[in-house]
Amino acid sequence: MILALLLAIPLAACAVSAVARRRSVLEAVNVTAFALTFLLALGVASQVLRSGSISLWNGFLYADSLSALVILLNASVALVCSVYAVGYLREDERSGALDDDGGTNTPSFKLRKYYSLTPLLVFAMLLVTLANNLGVMWAAIELTTLASVFLVTFYGNVTSLEAAWKYAMIGGVGLSMALFGTILTYYAGHRLPGSEGLAGLNWSILVGQAAQLDKTSMRMAFILVLLGYGTKAGLAPMHTWKPDAYSEAPVPSAAILSAAMLNCAVYGLIRFYVLTSRCLGAEYPGNLLLLLGLFSMGIAVPFVLVQKNFRRMLAYSTIDQAGMMITALGIGGQLAAFALMLHMTFHTVAKSLLFLSAGNIYQCFKTDLFQKLKGGVLRVLPLTGAAFCLGTMAIIGMPPFSLFQSEFLMIRAAFGTGHFLVGALFILFGLGVFTGVTLHVSGMLLGTSEEPRAAWHPWRDSPIVILAVLLIAIGFWLPASLLELVQRAALVVSGE
């Protein structure tokens, strides 16, 4: 029941926002809906911790600890971003950023578009993690793309059209490959007992019979799914849509795409990885994952180093982080799986913090180019600047912060399982991104600026404060129940 409610609330919010006229109604509906979704996600997590896994409607919806963790992470991103969006869009309306496109769309239409498409996007992301049927999961991932295309074109200018076109087309081609992979997976299992009709693509059934799946088709299916969902996760060389989409979308949407949708894509890959590794052994899917993961980490380095725009830099950092997660998945084994789930948790907090603070900086300075910014962010926006600095240090893996722990565990797992080259490259690429990001961010935050010191904006600043406190807190003290959820999710990944 709780699973159905979890899906129904964002969908209802989408429907109400699509017809509501007043801005205050839109804001209230969104924030309330996401607060409820967050509470329900907590409920799902605690229920999963108590009873293993829950399902509804003959196993059509299914949540184990892996889904519960991803749901919890995505619901918290959605809540934080919905609060932030209120302040962000009000500021956009005040500064006239919403009337830039020659008047084809009125500002109130744009607001309605944002506030109705975001719940739809969140609904699709929740459906990805709740659908047991791999085909339905595919349809939900496609729906996340379709729901967010018009968030990318939100400002309606020339570059955002270009970004949306790339996003939709690359995403569409990638997902068609993933669909092919899903069809092949269905074929691989369609002669097994208990796979007739609807249940034939149910993950919870397939996973029990994975050893009997047809090996040739699983081999092809995994490659196709890896390319398909890898496109959604922004793995190189299918990553080119990512910097464009993240830098053109309104900042709260970019935060949701970067922190939450990445989790969904990785989640989809994990589901297929578990099936394939049980069918063909961990080495075959592992090597493919390592190849793409390390390539993504490697390709992020030069682009971060020469980057001129801080939102695009964050996008390349997300590509780097996606590469890390995929590499950890490819290393395989208990420790790497634990590191992966931990990393996903930490990254979600750190990346949403970074995007939201970047949004504050962008709105205050009206530019996202390092060159025009000329430094001084810490003086003008002390709080945002400090939060951005904190998030940056966390994301590049500076020791006392949380992501250092998970990255350290990944490297340990790589060396521990004999992947010496992987470990070495991991460190090398990590250092490259470290250098690039430190260089750019220090130039941006330090120094002086002629801008007056900005005031406190409750809607935009409080989410940042909460995320910053959370980021520090979970680095030193992860609540016992969350830790247990992460551990159990890791068990689902490593398949024990």
Partner 1 sequence: MHTLQDPEFGNKMVTLMAALVLVLQIAMVAQRWIVTSIRIFAAQSFLLAAIANTIAYYNHAPHIYAAAALTLLAKGILVPIVLERLVARIGIRQEIKPILNVPLSIVISGGLTLVGYVLAEPFYRPDEAPGAATLGHNALAVAISLFLIGFFMMINRRNALTQVLALLCLENGLFLAAISLTYGMPLIVELGVLFDVLVAVMVLGILVYRIRETFESVDVSRMRRLRG
- Minimum CB separation of residue 139 from partner 1 in Å reads 3
Q: Which of 17, 30, 76, 153 binds partner 1 (CB under 8 A)?
A: 153
Burial class, 289, CB count within 10 angstroms (exposed 0-12 / middle 13-18 / buried 19+): buried
Q: How far apart are CA 53 and CA 44, in angstroms?
A: 9
Q: Give the total of residues touching partner 1 (CB under 8 A).
A: 49
CB 456 within 8 A of CB 328: no
Beta partners for 56? 61
- Minimum CB separation of residue 216 from partner 1 in Å reads 5
Q: Which of 33, 44, 48, 136 binds partner 1 (CB under 8 A)?
A: 136
Q: How far apart are CA 375 and CA 405, in angstroms?
A: 30
Q: Which is nearer to partner 1, 42 or 146 (CB)?
A: 146
Q: How far apart, in Å, are the Cα atoms of 288 and each of 145, 275, 291, 326?
A: 25, 15, 5, 10
Contact letters for partner 1, residues 76-105 (x by CB under 8 A):
----------------------------x-
Q: Which of 89, 201, 339, 422 binds partner 1 (CB under 8 A)?
A: 201
Tell which phi-psi region holds residue 40, choosing left (phi > 0), alpha (psi between -120 and 50) or beta.
alpha
Contact letters for partner 1, residues 155-194 (x by CB under 8 A):
-x-xx-xxxxxx-xx--xx--x--xx--xx-xx--x----
Contact letters for partner 1, residues 457-496 (x by CB under 8 A):
----------------------------------------
Q: Which is nearer to partner 1, 316 or 338 (CB)?
A: 316
Tell me: does residue 422 bind partner 1 (CB under 8 A).
no
Q: What is the DSSP letter of 61?
A: E
Q: How far apart are CA 328 and CA 323, in angstroms?
A: 9
Tell me: does residue 142 bind partner 1 (CB under 8 A).
yes
258-266, 288-296, 305-313, 407-415 -> range binding partner 1 (CB under 8 A): 305-313
The H or E element spanning position 397 is: none
- Minimum CB separation of residue 224 from partner 1 in Å reads 10
Q: Which of 200, 293, 376, 391 binds partner 1 (CB under 8 A)?
A: 200
Contact letters for partner 1, residues 102-121 (x by CB under 8 A):
--x-----------------
Q: Which of 59, 135, 375, 447 binds partner 1 (CB under 8 A)?
A: 135
Looking only at residues 53 through 72 of this chain, which bind partner 1 when binding is defined by CB under 8 A? none
Q: Which is nearer to partner 1, 5 or 183 (CB)?
A: 183
- Minimum CB separation of residue 161 from partner 1 in Å reads 6
CB 296 within 8 A of CB 239: yes
CB 74 within 8 A of CB 84: no
Tell me: does residue 4 bind partner 1 (CB under 8 A).
no
Looking only at residues 312 through 371 of this chain, which bind partner 1 when binding is defined by CB under 8 A? 312
Sign of CA dihedral 301, 305, 309, 311: positive
The encoded tokens of residue 94 equal 């005040």
Q: Which is nearer to partner 1, 179 or 301 (CB)?
A: 179
Q: How far apart are CA 95 and CA 89, in angstroms?
A: 10
Looking only at residues 208 through 237 of this chain, which bind partner 1 when binding is defined by CB under 8 A? 216-217
Residues 6+ positions from 387 with CB-CB distance below 8 Å: 353, 357, 464, 465, 467, 468
CB 377 within 8 A of CB 384: yes
Q: How far apart are CA 79 and CA 73, in angstroms?
A: 10
Q: How far apart are CA 208 and CA 276, in angstroms?
A: 12
Residues interacting with partner 1, by CB under 8 A? 104, 133, 135-136, 138-140, 142-143, 146, 149-150, 153, 156, 158-159, 161-166, 168-169, 172-173, 176, 179-180, 183-184, 186-187, 190, 197-198, 200-201, 216-217, 243-244, 247-248, 303, 306-308, 312
